[in-house]
Amino acid sequence: MAKIKLTKGELKKQRDSLKQFRHYLPTLQLKKQQLQMKILEARKLFEKRLSALFEVENRIKLWMGLLADPAVNITEWIMPTEVLTDTTNIAGANIPVYKDVRFKEIDYDFYTTPFWVDQGILELRELMKLLIETNVIREQIKTLQRELQVTTQRVNLFEKIKIPECLENIRRIRIYLGDLMANAVGISKVAKGKVESREEAAVA
């Protein structure tokens, strides 16, 4: 514990610090709860999207052998041309938010192209969207967890170190100042007694 001045000025400083710590602690605790709740929500959404991703993968496995046909190349229609994301602020943390994925407009001969290609492109696009969305949600969780770690450290700092330190410092200063006052009263009484004795001796 750092050495402190045992003065009235230091007592006021410690009381002001204690008041400030107690004022901000509930805000930090609320922020911690909000972050924990948002992380839980993001994890549930991540699991939901991951489940949908596996379902699409399983459907694709049933016909993916058809992609080996050299006459069919649908790569240009399933690769994203643009990924749309946004940023939102949650309890002081800026996190990415998935919006949409854009693809090149489908343009091929519907008469000469195998009938399964239309559905194949749709399912592969859905797979791509889910892959991108799960990656964005994963990044959300990482960002929220980092913010939660920092907030938890601050809550612990206030609860376990700063507030107890201030309370202990205030206690020590008050005891010291109380002792000084008691000593001053004692010295005053002794001095007063001596003065009165001298006055009595002078009268006698």
In this structure, is residue 66 part of a structural domain?
yes
In this structure, is residue 162 part of a structural domain?
yes
Give the pLDDT confidence score for residue 15 in this predicted structure.
Answer: 94
**Residue by residue, what is the 3-state secondary structure of 114-157?**
CCHHHHHHHHHHHHHHHHHHHHHHHHHHHHHHHHHHHHHHHHHH
Question: Which CATH number characterizes residue 137's domain?
Answer: 1.10.287.3240
Task: Please tell me whether the overall predicted TM-score, pTM, comes out greater than 0.85 for this model.
Answer: no
pLDDT tens-digit series, residues 56-105: 999 999 988 888 877 778 888 899 999 999 999 998 889 999 999 999 98
In this structure, is residue 43 part of a structural domain?
yes
Give the pLDDT confidence score for residue 70 in this predicted structure.
Answer: 78
For 38, other C-beta atoms within 10 Å of its C-beta total 19
Q: State the number of CA atoms in the 13 A half-sphere of 79 facing the CB.
A: 4
Domain containing 162 equals: 8-172
In this structure, is residue 27 part of a structural domain?
yes
Q: Which two tokens stand for residue 152?
A: 């938890």
- Please compute the mean of the pLDDT values over residues 46-57 and round it to a whole number: 96
**Which of 22-26, 35-39, 70-74, 167-171 is the least confident region?**
70-74
In this structure, is residue 182 part of a structural domain?
no
In this structure, is residue 188 part of a structural domain?
no
- Please compute the mean of the pLDDT values over residues 108-132 and round it to a whole number: 87
Give the pLDDT confidence score for residue 85 in this predicted structure.
Answer: 95
C-alpha 118/C-alpha 188 separation (Å) is 102
Q: How many domains does the chain have?
A: 1
pLDDT tens-digit series, residues 7-31: 889 999 999 999 999 999 999 999 9
Mean pLDDT of the chain: 88
In this structure, is residue 187 part of a structural domain?
no
| Kind and range of the H or E run holding 102 | strand 93-103
Give the pLDDT confidence score for residue 194 in this predicted structure.
Answer: 61
C-alpha 104/C-alpha 197 separation (Å) is 109
pLDDT band at 185 (very low <50, low <70, confident <90, very high): low
